[in-house]
C-alpha cells in the first residue's frame, strides 16, 4: 500500500489577478487530502470502476506517473470541501502524483518539482487552459507561496512555469515566503457558503469582464494590494494584513466574483476578525478570516447558514503518509 497526503490552500491575495500579471499569495492550511493505492485487478476509485472523464485530474496524474499495465485500487480520504475555492483538486493531484510515484519505486523527494508541474498541467487542462500554478505549488510546498509573473529577488525562488493559455503565453515564478510566527500562529477561519463554484466558469467570466475598463481598473487595484501585501506580510502585523484583506474583498466584489452569501459571511465575521475576504475563484465557495476569536467567527458563520472550519497555517506540504 502506498499513501500520500497534501494540504488545502487559501489565497490571501491575488486570486484572478494572478492570471493578469499580479502576484498571488497563498498559504497551506491544515485540511488535507489523502490518497492510498493498492495493487488491484483493475483501476478502481473508492471501490468503483475508475472513469477518467469523471475524474480528469486523477486521470491526468495516472497518465504521467502511473503504470497503465499495473492497475491500482485508489482510495481518497479528504477533509477539504470540494469545489469550494480551497484547492481540493490540487491537493488531490499532488497527493496522488506522489503516491503513484512511490508505487513505482521513485524517490518522491527528488520529484517534488515535477510533481508540482504535472499537477499544474492537470489543473490547466481541467480549467480550459486558464490556471495559475498557485494551488498546486502551495499543496506541494506547504507554508506560504508567492506566485508572480517575474522573479522577486528578496524571496526564495522554487521554480518557473510557462503555459500557453487562451489569453496568450503565461509565465510564473514560484517562491516560498517565510511568515513571522506572530502571524502564522493566528487561527484561520474558513466559512464555506455551502455553494460550490466552478473555477473554470469564474475565470471565463472574469476574462470576458476584463474587456470593460471599470473591471480592469478594479483588477489593477487588486494587483496593487497584492504587491504591497508581500512587504506587509513580512512585518507580521495582523491588523495591517486584515485591513488589506478586507479592502481586497471590496475590489473582488467590483470584479463580480463575490455573491450575497459570501458578503453576508464577511459582514458576520468582521467584528471578530482582523480582516476577511473571499478566497479562491468566488461565485460561491469560501471566505477566509484572520481572527483571534475563531469560535465567535464560527458561530456567526453557522448563524448565516455557512459551514465553519477553524484551521491553522500548515508548514508541511505533500508527504508520504505512514
Ligand atoms: O478556486 P480555486 O481554488 O480553484 O482558486 C482559483 C484561483 C484563480 O486565481 C481564480 C485561478 C487560478 O488558476 O489561479
Closest CA to 61 of 22, 89, 84: 89
Does some domain include residue 318?
Answer: no
pLDDT score at 107: 55
Q: Is pLDDT above 90 for 168?
A: no
Q: How confident is the model at residue 182 (pLDDT cuts 50, 70, 90)?
A: confident
Grid cell, residue 188, equals: 484561520
Residue 290 in contact with residue 13, Cβ under 8 Å? no
pLDDT tier for residue 98 given thresholds of 50, 70 and 90: very high
CA of 320 to the centre of ligand 1 (A): 26
Q: Does any domain span residue 162? A: yes
Residues 174 and 198 in one domain: no
Query: Residue 4's pLDDT band (boundaries 50, 70, 90)?
Result: very high
Q: Is residue 58 part of a domain?
A: yes
Identify the three-state secondary structure at position 258: coil
Q: Which residue has a Cα nearest atom 3 of ligand 1?
A: 85
Kindly state the average pLDDT of the residues 236-255. Answer: 95
Q: State what percent of residues in the chain have pLDDT above 70.
A: 98
What pLDDT is stored for residue 109 in this prediction?
Answer: 45
Confidence of residue 106 (pLDDT cuts 50, 70, 90): low
- Per-residue HEC secondary structure of 158-220 comes to EEEEEEEECCEEEEEEEEEECCCHHHHCCCEEEEECCCCCCHHHHHHHHHHHCCCHHHHHHHH
Q: The domain that contains 300 carries what CATH number?
A: 3.30.70.890
Q: Is the pLDDT of residue 244 over 80?
A: yes
In a domain, 317, yes or no: no
Is 5 a catalytic site residue? Answer: no
Lowest mean pLDDT among 64-73, 99-108, 242-251: 99-108
Confidence at residue 166, expressed as pLDDT on a 0 to 100 scale? 83
Ligand 1 pocket test, candidate residues 83, 132, 174, most atoms within 8 A of CB: 132
pLDDT-based confidence at residue 312 (cuts at 50, 70, 90): very high
Catalogue the long-range contacts made by 164-172 (C-beta closer than 8 Å, 24 or more residues apart).
164/129, 165/19, 165/124, 165/129, 165/130, 166/128, 166/129, 166/130, 166/207, 167/19, 167/130, 167/207, 170/19, 170/132, 172/18, 172/132, 172/133, 172/147, 172/148
Structure letter (DSSP) for residue 271: G
Residue 199 domain flag? yes
CA–CA dist 20, 206 (Å, integer): 10
43-82 per-position pLDDT tens digit: 999 999 999 999 888 999 999 888 888 999 999 999 999 8
Domain stop point among 180, 196, 213: 180
CATH code at position 49: 3.30.230.10
List Cβ neighbours of 21 (8 Å cut-off, separation of 6 or more).
149, 223
Task: Considering the candidates 48, 67, 135, 173, report the single residue annotated as catalytic.
Answer: 135
Statement to judge: residues 15 and 98 lie in one domain: yes
CA distances from 1 to 4, 37, 62, 102 (A): 10, 6, 16, 10
Q: Is the pLDDT of residue 12 over 80?
A: yes
pLDDT of residue 66: 87
The answer to the question of residue 84 being in a domain is: yes
Instruction: Indicate the top mutation candidate among 78, 195, 203, 259 to test ligand 1's pocket, ranked by most ligand atoms within 8 A of CB.
Output: 203
Q: Indicate the helix (H) or strand (E) that contains 293.
A: none
pLDDT value for 110: 46
Measure the CA angle with vertex 6, ends 54 and 115; round to 5°: 75
Is 0.85 topped by the overall pTM?
yes
Which residue range(s) make up the domain with 193?
Answer: 186-311
Q: What is the 3-state secondary structure (H, E, C) of 40-87?
A: CCCCEECCEECCCCCCHHHHHHHHHHCCCCCCEEEEEEECCCCCCCCC
Amino acid at each position: 500500500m502506498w499513501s500520500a497526503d497534501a494540504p488545502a490552500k487559501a489565497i490571501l491575495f491575488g486570486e484572478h489577478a494572478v492570471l493578469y500579471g499580479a502576484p498571488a499569495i497563498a498559504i497551506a492550511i491544515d485540511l488535507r487530502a489523502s490518497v492510498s493505492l493498492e495493487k488491484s485487478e483493475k483501476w478502481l476509485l473508492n471501490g468503483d470502476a475508475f472513469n477518467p472523464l469523471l475524474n480528469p485530474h486523477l486521470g491526468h496524474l495516472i497518465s504521467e506517473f502511473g503504470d497503465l499495465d499495473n492497475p491500482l485500487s485508489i482510495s481518497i480520504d479528504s477533509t477539504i470541501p470540494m469545489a469550494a475555492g480551497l484547492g481540493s483538486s490540487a491537493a488531490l493531484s499532488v497527493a496522488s502524483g506522489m503516491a503513484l510515484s512511490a508505487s513505482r519505486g521513485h524517490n518522491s523527494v527528488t520529484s517534488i518539482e515535477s510533481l508540482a508541474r504535472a499537477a499544474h498541467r492537470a489543473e490547466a487542462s481541467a480549467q480550459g487552459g486558464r490556471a495559475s500554478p498557485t494551488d498546486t505549488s502551495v499543496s506541494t510546498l506547504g507554508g506560504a507561496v508567492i506566485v508572480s509573473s517575474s522573479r522577486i529577488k528578496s524571496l526564495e525562488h522554487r521554480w518557473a512555469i510557462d503555459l500557453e493559455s487562451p489569453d496568450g503565453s503565461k509565465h510564473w515564478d514560484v517562491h516560498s515566503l517565510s511568515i513571522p510566527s506572530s502571524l502564522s500562529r493566528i487561527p484561520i477561519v474558513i466559512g464555506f457558503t455551502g455553494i460550490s463554484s466552478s473555477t473554470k466558469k469564474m475565470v471565463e467570466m472574469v476574462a470576458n469582464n476584463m474587456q470593460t475598463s471599470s473591471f480592469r481598473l478594479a483588477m489593477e487595484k487588486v494587483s496593487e494590494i497584492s504587491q504591497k501585501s508581500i512587504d506587509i506580510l513580512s512585518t507580521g502585523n495582523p491588523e495591517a494584513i486584515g485591513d488589506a484583506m478586507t479592502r481586497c474583498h471590496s475590489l473582488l466584489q467590483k470584479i463580480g466574483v463575490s455573491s450575497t452569501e459570501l458578503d453576508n459571511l464577511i459582514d458576520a465575521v468582521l467584528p471578530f476578525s482582523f480582516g476577511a475576504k473571499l478566497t479562491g475563484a468566488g461565485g460561491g465557495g469560501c471566505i477566509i478570516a484572520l481572527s483571534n476569536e475563531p469560535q465567535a467567527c464560527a458561530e456567526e458563520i453557522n448563524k448565516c447558514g455557512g459551514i465553519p472550519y477553524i484551521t491553522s497555517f500548515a508548514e508541511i506540504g505533500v508527504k508520504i503518509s505512514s
